Structure formats: C-alpha cells, structure tokens
C-alpha cells in the first residue's frame, strides 16, 4: 500500500520514490521519505507490518544533524543502520548548494526491515538492503546533479542570449546620425535589464570654454556624480588600468574597500570608454592598447548578488566598447561632414569670387530655399531630408558658372545674344558636374531647373508647370528674390517691398502659384533680418549660419 502524506519536494523526485516503493513493497519492507526538516513526506508499506512513523522522523532528524555536511562536494553515500531487533536503514539525500560544490540536505530515505521475531520482511538481509539503498541514493544524487547542471546551463544560455540581443541591439542602433545622449541612454537602460543595479552612468569628456572635464552623458537610478566624484572615478580607473587591469572593481565582500567611497556604495564597477583620438587633453590616460580613455561607464550596488562578478565585467566591457565605437564613429562622421562642408564652402566662394556683386549669393539662396521649404511643409508635408536637399540645391545652384567666362559674368552692359546663350548654359554645366558625384545626384534637379519658368519660357529645358520639380520651383524663386534685392553690375538693388511686388506679378508665369503664395504669406521681415545677420535673430534661426546648418544638410548626403 502506498500512502502519500504530503508533497513538498520536486514532483518528479517524489514520483521516482513512489515507483521504487511500489517495487520493494512486494518484498515486505516499508520505505519512507522525509524532507530536510525531518517531516514525513511519503510512506510505502509492504503490508507485513506497520512502521513507527514517529521513530522514523526522529531517525531522519538524527541523520540530518549528524551528517556533518561541508563544502567538500563529496558525493559518497553513507547508509545508517539503526536497531538490533527492529532494523531501520537510512541514507541522506543531498543536492548542490552553490557553484563551489557545497552540499545541502534535501531529505532522508529510510527502509524499515521490521522485527527479528518474525514480523519482518521475507528478505531482511540488512547487507542486501544497505546496498540497495546506497544504489537508490546514488541514482538520486546523479539525477539531481544532472538536473541542476541542465538548469545551470539553461540559465547561462538564457543570460548569453540576452547579452547577444543587447549587443545586437546596440550594433543595429549604431547610426552616425543618432545623438550620443540617446544611444548612451539606451545602452544604460539595456544593460540594467540584464544586470540589475541601483545606479548607472556614462561619463564623457566635455569642454566648457578652455576647461575639459568629465560630465554625465547618460544614466539612471540612485547614483550621484559631482565633479569631485567624477575626477576620483577617472583617476582610480586610470590607476587600475596602469596596473594591468581592465576595470575598476571594488567592494568589501572579500576584503575592505580599496578606495574610500560614499556611504551608500556597497560595491562598484567602472570600465573605460577608449578611443584613438590623438588630441591633447588632461584626460590623457592611455589603455594597454595605446588608445586614450575618453570616458567611462560606472554602476553601483549590484542587485541580487553580493558583488559584480567576471560575467558582469565582460558584459560591461562589451557595452562600453560599443559605446566608445559609437562615439568615435560620430566624431569621425563630424570630421567628414566638416571636410565636406569646407569643400562646398570653398567651391561656392570660388563661384561668388568670380563676381564681387554676387558675393554671399549662394549661401543666401540656400537659406531662402530652406525658409520656403519649411513654410511649404506646413501645407504639404516634406521629409526633413528633402528640405536638406533643397538647401543644398540652393547652395550649389550656380556651380555651373565655373564654366562661364568671367568677362561675361562681370560685364556691366547689356549682354549680346551669344553671351546670354553662354550664361544660359550654367544650369546644365552645374548638373553635369554634380551627376558625377553619387551623393549629389538628388541635388541635380534643383540645380538644373532653377531657371525654368511655369509658362515654359525658362531654360535650359523650357519645362512647363508641374514638369518643373518642386526643388527647381523653390530654388528658382529664392534665386530671383536674392537677385532682385542685391546690387548687380547692371542695376541697383530693389527694396524688399518692390521685390515682393515683382514676385506677386510673376505668379503663374515665372513662379509657381502655390510656392510663390507660401513665400509671400510668410514672415518676410524675419527672413530679411536673418539674411542681414541681425543679432539675436540670425543666431536663433541657424546658429553659426552655414557651418552649423550646413552640417545637418550635408549629413543627409554622406550618411
């Protein structure tokens, strides 16, 4: 007869003992199972006699108390023998307690052989049953160990999977157009989903005036880093790295703190963000590979563990490396944009330099074109990249004048028919130049069509109405407005009022009705203030003018 008292252990383990009890009950012995608190969980009776359950629980408690478990990790099974006439055999069930091999009691299995006066099993040879019990427990230990190893491997695989997902997430979001703060915050949030901490932050070198310092670029949680703490973190991390270590790890788990920390810190990890920047800086400490430390990632107070371990360290180093690569790529992209911008500025300046009366014309047309595109997007949505390309088309609309004779450009009198035909070639020349640059091909329509007219009387293609692309309509209007309000060799500048009246008059013939109306109904006085560089207005619109806004526009070409 099988009698389950209560079920506290693993159901699969209980089921295994039930099956064993069913098999041995036919031999007339009783089998009992107690948990680690010496409480009876299972009694399997052979039907020959009844066991004293109170005695069995007392014997179980004695086995647990006297077994002397330690951290040796020994799996040797000891079978206890109790009684002379009423013989009870017992063996301790153990399972691993920690990764170091320490053991803990899982329970006690007992075999009651009965009295020697005849009320006992048919086969009561204690030696036989001792061996049977030993084999049973060894099988239990092996099965438990295998289950624990499978569970541990599963946990490690799950952790590794989460780490790979995190690193993949970082790599797929490592776009040079992403802002540093957004990427770094995502990195902090993502790593704390895998390694829970009370506080985390990323510190990067920053410049204020002539001063360089470490400032918090991203972070979350209960972590307070002022200038003094930032300087201490940097110097201590640099000291650890100079001693051949990869990071700063400090806690009082195995020994007192190496450094003095605020009272709320129980353990702390800091890993470097390294770049190949050669710039001189008081933050000039070098890592072992010669790269310069440009910042660090720090976290405090590991949750669910006493301290940060080697697995945590590896993930922090990987994430910090991804952050450093992102920052370095961003800086390289900025350098590339500045180089491109410098080249464009030199190119446009060379065009304007051919005629002193058109100096600054290209930049003004670019700004006016962008102004019109912004207003136009309020009635018909335009993507930001489209507006950037309109700006660049305005900037480069006259690039074809490189191929026009300076004497024609600077002529003060009326142009001859052949000279006018020469001038009319500059849109086609400019488009031909830009077509050879892959990244500039989206700019070509604006350069080619900025002298087309709605009525078809423009050049070079004589396009009519909607045959003219939007960028051509916008740049053409911007070019005309700046030309009318600028002094030329053949006439004085018009006033803004007169220029606007001329545009009104040209709607539907020279200029597109919709584009022209959007421009005329905009805040022209503010636009004029921007173009004239009035303090406080020009800066509010486009910062440092061409350099800053041009950087954003150029970014759409080379990303």
**Of 301-310, 330-339, 428-437, 513-522, where does the model show the most confidence?**
513-522
> pLDDT band for position 380 (50/70/90)?
very high
At residue 58, does pLDDT exceed 90? yes
Taking residue 205's Cβ as centre, other Cβ atoms within 10 Å add up to: 22
- Residue 79's H or E segment, with its range, is strand 79-82
Output b/e per residue, 533-549; b: 16+ Cβ within 10 A: eeeebbeebbeebbeeb
User: Pick the residue with more confidence: 406 or 215?
Assistant: 215
DSSP secondary structure, 196-222, as one string: -EEEEEEEEEEEETTEEEEEEEEEEES
At residue 163, does pLDDT exceed 70? no
- As a whole number of angstroms, the distance between CA 141 and CA 132 comes to 14
Report the mean per-residue pLDDT for the chain: 83
For the segment 323-335, the average pLDDT, to the nearest whole number, is 85
% of the chain beyond a pLDDT of 70: 82
173-328 homologous superfamily: GAF domain (3.30.450.40)
**Amino acid 424: pLDDT:** 92
At residue 544, does pLDDT exceed 90? no
> pLDDT band for position 67 (50/70/90)?
confident
Q: List, in order, residues 6 or more apart from 407 with CB less than 8 Å away.
A: none
Residue pair 394/473 in contact by the 8 Å Cβ criterion: no
User: Which position has the token pair 């507006």?
Assistant: 387
Q: List, in order, residues 6 or more apart from 502 with CB less than 8 Å away.
A: 484, 494
2-148 homologous superfamily: Dynein light chain 2a, cytoplasmic (3.30.450.30)
For the segment 315-326, the average pLDDT, to the nearest whole number, is 89
- As a whole number of angstroms, the distance between CA 345 and CA 341 comes to 6
Residue pair 110/132 in contact by the 8 Å Cβ criterion: no
User: Pick the residue with more confidence: 470 or 536?
Assistant: 470
Residue extent(s) of CATH 3.30.450.30 domains in the chain: 2-148
- As a whole number of angstroms, the distance between CA 485 and CA 498 comes to 9
Q: Which CATH architecture has domain 354-558?
A: Orthogonal Bundle (1.10)
Among 54-68, 101-115, 245-259, 531-545, which is the least confidently predicted range? Answer: 531-545
Structure-block tokens of residue 467: 């045959």
At residue 547, does pLDDT exceed 80? no
**Amino acid 290: pLDDT:** 59
pTM above 0.85, yes or no: no
Q: List, in order, residues 6 or more apart from 39 with CB less than 8 Å away.
A: 6, 8, 57
> pLDDT band for position 482 (50/70/90)?
very high
**Amino acid 554: pLDDT:** 63
DSSP state of 6: -
Residue extent(s) of CATH 1.10.3210.10 domains in the chain: 354-558
Taking residue 550's Cβ as centre, other Cβ atoms within 10 Å add up to: 25
Q: How far is CA 5 from the centre of its chain?
A: 54
At residue 333, does pLDDT exceed 90? no
Burial of 232 (0-12, 13-18, 19+ CB in 10 A): middle
Residue extent(s) of CATH 3.30.450.40 domains in the chain: 173-328
> pLDDT band for position 509 (50/70/90)?
very high
Sign of CA dihedral 71, 74, 77, 81: negative
**Amino acid 553: pLDDT:** 67
At residue 2, does pLDDT exceed 90? no
At residue 3, does pLDDT exceed 80? no
**Amino acid 277: pLDDT:** 56
**Of 99-108, 269-278, 385-394, 531-540, where does the model show the most confidence?**
385-394
> pLDDT band for position 7 (50/70/90)?
very low
Sheet holding 197-208, edge to edge: 211-221, 197-208, 292-302, 267-275, 248-251
> pLDDT band for position 470 (50/70/90)?
very high
Structure-block tokens of residue 196: 């829970």
At residue 363, does pLDDT exceed 90? no
> pLDDT band for position 119 (50/70/90)?
low
**Amino acid 358: pLDDT:** 64
> pLDDT band for position 516 (50/70/90)?
very high
For the segment 41-63, the average pLDDT, to the nearest whole number, is 90
- Residue 401's H or E segment, with its range, is none
Among 183-197, 432-446, 525-539, which is the least confidently predicted range? Answer: 525-539
């Amino acid at each position: 007869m099988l009698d389950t008292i209560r079920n506290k252990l693993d159901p699969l383990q209980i089921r295994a003992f039930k099956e064993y009890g069913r098999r041995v009950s036919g031999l007339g012995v009783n089998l009992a199972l107690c948990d680690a608190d010496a409480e009876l969980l299972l009694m399997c009776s052979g039907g020959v006699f009844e066991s004293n359950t109170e005695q069995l629980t007392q014997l179980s408690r004695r086995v647990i108390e006297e077994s002397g478990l330690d951290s040796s990790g020994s799996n040797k099974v000891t079978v206890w023998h109790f009684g002379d006439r009423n013989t009870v055999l017992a063996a301790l069930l153990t399972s691993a307690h920690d990764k170091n091999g320490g053991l803990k009691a899982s329970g006690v299995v007992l075999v009651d052989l009965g009295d020697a006066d005849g009320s006992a099993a048919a086969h009561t040879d204690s030696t036989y049953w001792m061996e049977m019990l030993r084999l049973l427990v060894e099988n239990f230990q092996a099965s438990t160990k295998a289950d624990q190893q499978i569970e541990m491997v599963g946990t490690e695989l799950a952790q590794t999977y989460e780490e790979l997902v995190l690193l993949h997430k970082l790599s797929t979001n490592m776009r040079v157009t992403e802002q540093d703060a957004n990427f770094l915050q995502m990195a902090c949030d993502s790593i704390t989903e895998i390694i829970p901490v009370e506080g985390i932050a990323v510190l990067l070198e920053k410049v204020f005036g002539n001063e360089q310092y470490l400032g918090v670029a991203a972070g979350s949680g209960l972590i307070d880093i002022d200038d003094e703490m930032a300087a201490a973190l940097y110097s201590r991390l640099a000291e650890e790295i100079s001693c051949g270590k990869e990071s700063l790890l400090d806690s009082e788990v195995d020994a007192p703190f190496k450094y003095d920390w605020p009272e709320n810190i129980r353990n702390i990890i800091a890993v470097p963000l390294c770049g190949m920047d050669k710039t001189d800086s008081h933050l000039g400490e070098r890592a072992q590979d010669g790269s310069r430390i440009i910042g660090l990632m720090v976290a405090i107070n590991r949750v669910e563990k006493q301290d940060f371990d080697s697995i945590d360290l590896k993930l922090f180093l990987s994430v910090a490396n991804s952050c450093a690569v992102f920052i370095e790529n961003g800086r390289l992209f900025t350098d590339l944009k500045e180089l491109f911008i410098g080249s464009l500025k030199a190119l446009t300046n060379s065009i304007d330099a051919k005629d002193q009366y058109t100096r600054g014309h290209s930049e003004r047309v670019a700004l006016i074109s962008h102004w019109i595109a912004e207003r136009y997007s309020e009635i018909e949505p335009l993507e930001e990249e489209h507006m950037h390309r309109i700006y660049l088309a305005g900037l480069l609309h006259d690039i074809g004048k490189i191929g026009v004779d300076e004497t024609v450009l600077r002529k003060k009198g009326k142009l001859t028919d052949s000279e006018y035909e020469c001038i009319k070639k500059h849109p086609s020349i400019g488009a031909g130049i830009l077509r050879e640059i892959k990244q500039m091909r989206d700019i070509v329509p604006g350069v080619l069509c900025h002298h087309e007219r709605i009525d078809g009387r423009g050049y070079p293609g004589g396009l009519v109405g909607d045959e003219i692309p939007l960028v051509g309509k916008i740049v053409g209007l911007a070019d005309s407005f700046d030309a009318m309000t600028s002094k030329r060799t053949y006439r004085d500048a018009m006033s803004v009022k007169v220029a606007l009246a001329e545009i009104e008059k040209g709607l539907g013939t020279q200029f597109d009705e919709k584009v022209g109306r959007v421009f005329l109904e905009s805040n022209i006085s503010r636009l004029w203030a921007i173009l004239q560089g009035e303090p406080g207005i020009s800066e509010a619109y486009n910062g440092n003018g061409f350099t800053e806004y041009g950087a954003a526009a150029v970014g759409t070409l080379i990303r």
